[in-house]
């Protein structure tokens, strides 16, 4: 019987290692670092290592307006199962939260909005993908966004210290990546972590 348990334990550890899971008690891997730390922001245009790639089923939108650091208005190019209209829709970025600009301007709200406006200027194309729930109770569409050149916008805002990672189940496919980016931004004192 002890031999069977030993073999079972060896097989479990082998499967654990084969799947790439961390061993219990092992330190958590650091968030991907990329860009120029002296600038206070990661470089745009090139995704960081380990960053979520744009999914094959992502669809294009045209940015109409950036409301704040985590909400935009955009128009879908071709109606689809998620957005069945070409009327402008309000889009809330999944998994992040930025300081509020109204009714009172919170610390780093203007900088977060400005950074999102740099990433997604009016008239630019952006790629959107849903998680599980495509809309919230306010009728806003809930998306992960990627720039035309592949930058995962939700991640970029957290990695630069403009946003915090938040989990709003069931839309949490990238929460581990976003939380790791936040921890790195906090350690580096980026954005609101160094100013607020």
Residue positions annotated with a catalytic role: 92, 100, 140
Distances (CA, A) of 171 to 11, 74, 129: 34, 20, 11
126 near 63, Cβ under 8 Å?
Answer: yes
| Cα end-to-end span (Å), the chain | 60
Q: 140 Cβ partners below 8 Å, 6+ apart?
A: 71, 89, 90, 91, 92
Closest of 133, 137, 179, 134 to residue 154, by C-alpha: 179
Up-side HSE of residue 32: CA atoms within 13 Å toward CB? 18
**What's 132's DSSP letter?**
S
């Amino acid at each position: 019987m002890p031999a069977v348990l030993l073999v079972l334990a060896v097989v479990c550890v082998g499967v654990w290692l084969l799947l790439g899971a961390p061993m219990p008690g092992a330190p958590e891997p650091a968030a991907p670092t990329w860009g120029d730390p002296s600038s206070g922001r990661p470089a745009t245009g090139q995704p960081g290592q380990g960053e979520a790639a744009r999914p094959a089923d992502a669809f294009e939108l045209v940015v109409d307006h950036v409301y704040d650091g985590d909400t935009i208005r955009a128009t879908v190019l071709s109606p689809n199962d998620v957005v069945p209209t070409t009327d402008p829709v309000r889009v809330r970025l999944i998994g992040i939260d930025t300081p509020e600009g109204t009714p009172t301007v919170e610390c780093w709200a203007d900088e977060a909005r400005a950074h999102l406006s740099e990433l997604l200027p009016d008239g630019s194309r952006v790629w959107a993908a849903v998680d599980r729930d495509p809309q919230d109770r306010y009728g806003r569409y809930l998306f992960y966004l990627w720039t035309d050149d592949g930058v995962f916008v939700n991640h970029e805002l957290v990695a630069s210290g403009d946003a915090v990672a938040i989990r709003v189940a069931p839309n949490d496919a990238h929460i581990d990546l976003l939380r790791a980016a936040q921890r790195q931004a906090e350690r580096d004192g980026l954005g609101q972590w160094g100013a607020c």
